[in-house]
Amino acid sequence: MSETKHPKEIISLLRNSFDSGKTKPVEYRIQQIKNLRRLYVENQEKMIQALASDLHKSRQESIVMELQFNMYDLDNILANIIEWVKPETPQKTIVNLLDKLSIYNDPYGVVLVIGAWNYPFQLLLSPVAGAIAAGNCVILKPSELAVACSKLIAELIPKYLDPDCYQIYTGGPKETTLLLKEKFDYIFFTGSPSVGKIIHKAAAENLTPVTLELGGKSPVYIDNSVDLEIAVKRILWGKFTNAGQTCVAPDYILCSKEVERKFVEVSDKVLKQWYGDDPSKSPDFGRIITDAHFQRITKFLSNGTVAIGGKTISSERYISPTILIDVNPSDLVMLDEIFGPVLPIVNINNLYDAINFINKRDKPLAMYVFSRRKKDINLLIQNTSCGGIAVNDTIMHLTVDTLPFGGVGNSGMGNYHGKYTFDTFTHKKSCLYKDMGYIGEKLGESRYPPFNDTKIAF
């Protein structure tokens, strides 16, 4: 499904609007952010229904993970935007005592935001809010795979945001390829590392700066010092929310055989408490987005030994919460990001094994360490590289908007959330206002020829 307008036409419209200065006044940006907030307030039920239709997301999960998350984001922008847009005044050195230094927060211009399907509202509209706050014109490209959400976004955006400056463009790889032939001033992409490379290459043609919010295999390390009842709940919640289709979901566990035994025992109890004896009947457990994704994930079920779960219903794209043991590092399930409700456990002997295991693989988007041993926690943090870490929890680090959220290496580049989103869509334009007085000129005249040995400093 594609817009009738060609990308060239849309970009030309947005570029004219940007050049007219329409998005520059902060009052205009505030109004658009308020409109976006109203979109959430007035369409909450429709959004919850669309999420249920695409992903069988529960009402509670939709409200907390999609709607409240973005509402909080918008309120934070409204509370701080006046401060954020002001030029910054950096410290002066002795050489510049008579001058004025400013850093202007310039919008880039016309930016493209490409979203993923797993949190279809949050992952598109949260960066878009930052792009609007920073004064850019925006093309929004939702993921075609979240069919109902994409349709709803396409219907709502023109009703709430100024169409001169914000345009929706729908479609899949074919349409996005067409879009990427055009020149943008910034591209913000959320999705897989493989498509991230396509985006990066296309952006390089025009030296367009990018943020790539990608994925990867986020490991969990647990030792025997923790309260397993708590650790299991926090890990399983992170894993089975949205049926494992979360970019920072724990991908696999590294622990000893002893911890594994207890982990499986407690998990069995917790999963029954949460989803009952048959999770396919639970309103709180999600479904896999498409048949192709379902087929890909079910292949993992033949790896290792199924300790819990392993059931599927293909007509519903249902895969039960599954824990695999006796998994080998070379098994299929350990090669690519799982992005589904399957949690393999790989046994290691100690912390150093865990560090080596993590460092032999691509840098993950997130990493989780469950331990009471401060020294071990610090060793792991200091000797591994990843996008971000939560100690004794999963996923929650990305709800803290004073922490930048983003990947490193194969899990992405750049970051956002809170003020970081505003900064992502802002070019920091430096400006030196030079003093024209006699003293200032005298202090700086050693830069002019003819040079001699006494003229060494500006």
Which residues of the shown chain bind ligand NAD in the complex (CB under 6 A)?
A: 114-118, 123, 141, 143-144, 172-173, 176-177, 190-192, 195, 198, 213-215, 247, 337, 339, 365, 407, 412
Separation CA 149–CA 377 (nearest Å): 40
| Residue 161: strand, helix, or coil | coil
Give me the DSSP letters along 412-441: EE--BSTHHHHHHTEEEEEEEE---SHHHH
Ramachandran class of 368: left when φ > 0, alpha when ψ lies in -120 to 50, beta otherwise: beta
Residue whose CB is less far from ligand NAD, 192 or 347: 192
Least separation in angstroms between residue 158's CB and ligand NAD is 19
Residue 140's beta-bridge partner residues?
113, 168
Minimum separation from the CB atom of position 94 to ligand NAD (A): 44
Question: Judged by CB, which is closer to ligand NAD: 172, or 444?
Answer: 172
Cα–Cα dist 232/222, whole Å:
10
Of residues 137, 247, 255, 386, which has the active-site annotation?
247
Residue 13 CB, nearest distance to ligand NAD (Å)?
Answer: 21
3-state secondary structure of 216: coil
Nearer CB in complex with ligand NAD: 198/264: 198
Cβ contacts of 292 within 8 Å, gap of 6 or more: none
Which among 213, 255, 337, 386 is annotated as catalytic?
213
Structure token pair of residue 369: 């360490």
| SS3 state at 361 | coil
Residue 255 Cβ vs ligand NAD, minimum distance, rounded to whole Å? 23
The alpha carbon of residue 1 and the mean position of all alpha carbons in its chain are separated, in whole angstroms, by 25
Nearest-angstrom CA–CA distance, 212 and 406 = 8
Residue 174 CA, chain-centre distance (Å), reads 23
Angle CA(371)–CA(408)–CA(132) in degrees, nearest 5?
Answer: 110
247 is catalytic: yes
> Which lies closer to ligand NAD via its Cβ, residue 130 or residue 407?
407
Contact 36, 132 (CB under 8 A): yes
Minimum gap (Å) between residue 170 Cβ and ligand NAD: 9
The radius of gyration computed from the CA coordinates of the chain, to the nearest angstrom, equals 25
Active site residue 137: no
- Judged by beta carbon, residue 29 or residue 419, the one nearer ligand NAD is 419
Choose among 184, 86, 209, 78: nearest CA to 133. Answer: 78
Minimal distance in Å, beta carbon 414 to ligand NAD? Answer: 10
Q: Which neighbouring-strand residues pair with 413?
A: 212
Nearer to ligand NAD, 355 or 365 (CB): 365
Which residue lies nearest ligand NAD, judged by its C-beta? 215
Active-site amino acid positions? 213, 247
